[in-house]
Amino acid sequence: MTFEQIIKDLQNKIYKPIYFLMGTEPYYIDKITDYIAENVLTEAEKAFNQTILYGKDSDIGTVINTARRFPMMANYHVVIVKEAQNIKGINGATGKGKNPKPNPLQLFLENPPKSTILVINYKYDTLDKRTKFPKTIERNGVLFESKKLYDNQLPQWITKYVSECNLRIDPKAAILMAEFLGSDLGKVTNEVDKLKLVLSQNSTITPEIVEKYIGISHEYNMFELQKAIGIKDVLKANRIVNYLGKNSNDTPAFLVVNSLFDYYIKVLKVLSSPGKSKEELATMIGVHSFFVEEYQRAAKNYPITKTINNISLLRKFDLKAKGLDAGNSDPVELLKELVYRLMH
């Protein structure tokens, strides 16, 4: 089930005995857990019928015994297990040997009490869906995997979330936030929620607003560096490199190199797809159509042979940026050399 399907069912009071929430992106796991914790029971019912356990302080026996309790003056007993990845056996693993003992949680989930809602937060890991345990969960409850977004999906996700907050966002501002905040959706939503406090409804989040309230420079950032390199503006590119070098805690050299590597991969795709429309190119390279012309300009400045050579160069500088074969190179000087060689 998708996140949207799960929330819709919960809103319609369609509850399952087990919600096993796993994966590398904690944001959706927390959102589902919080919704169940806040909405299934009334405030009066929660005192006796909602239990929160923590993996570091619990074992599988405690989880099962708690989940077997019947509710008191309520329809459901809600049991939420946070940090469940720290509990041995919570993933359905059985003992070793020819005749391993069956996992007690597996046995419990074969016939769970209809009055129990057991929510297991299994963050930063997943189950092997080919085994019996996850199949039992899917048969009797909900097995949900929360995956990290790819970098090229982030600006669109940010735009969608901003819209849900009754705000709008400039495409360039969405890219700035994606590059600076990364794929931690919790961090992204926290920053957008802060902007909600200072902006009126239907306001547009611009790069200037991002710089003022989040602290991301709208002039000296990776997007502007890529743009400067694409049009071979040597002076501007070096100004940005100087700025990024002085603020290397926010933007380490290896992240700059990785970003430029992805940039040239996109330029190569544009070079390899003559005749495609702007919309087709936007879909293919994973950017907003607003930015396609910048990649097309770069493709004119960098023939396919030079682009391939630059991709190879970036691979070598990636190792140097990570400290391999770099000696005592200063990060700023390293980036200056890279930018010069990319544009010449």
Per-residue pLDDT reduced to its tens digit, 112-163: 999 999 999 999 999 988 888 999 999 999 999 999 988 778 888 999 999 9
- 136 and 64, same structural domain? yes
User: Which pLDDT score is estimated for 249?
Assistant: 66
- 317 and 260, same structural domain? yes
Report the predicted TM-score, pTM, of the whole model to 2 decimal places: 0.73
Q: How confident is the model at residue 250 (pLDDT cuts 50, 70, 90)?
A: low
Separation of alpha carbons 337 and 209, rounded Å? 33
Number of domains in the chain: 3
The whole domain housing 159 covers: 151-214
Q: Tell me how long the chain is.
A: 344
Where residue 195 sits, what CATH number does that domain have?
A: 1.10.8.60
Strand partners, 121: 21
- 257 and 244, same structural domain? yes
- 157 and 142, same structural domain? no
Indicate the Cα dihedral angle 144, 150, 151, 152, nearest 10°.
-120
End of a domain among 146, 168, 203? 146
Q: What are the backbone dihedrals phi and psi of residue 232, each rounded to the nearest 5 degrees, phi first?
A: 60, 45
End of a domain among 214, 236, 253? 214
pLDDT higher than 60, residue 17: yes
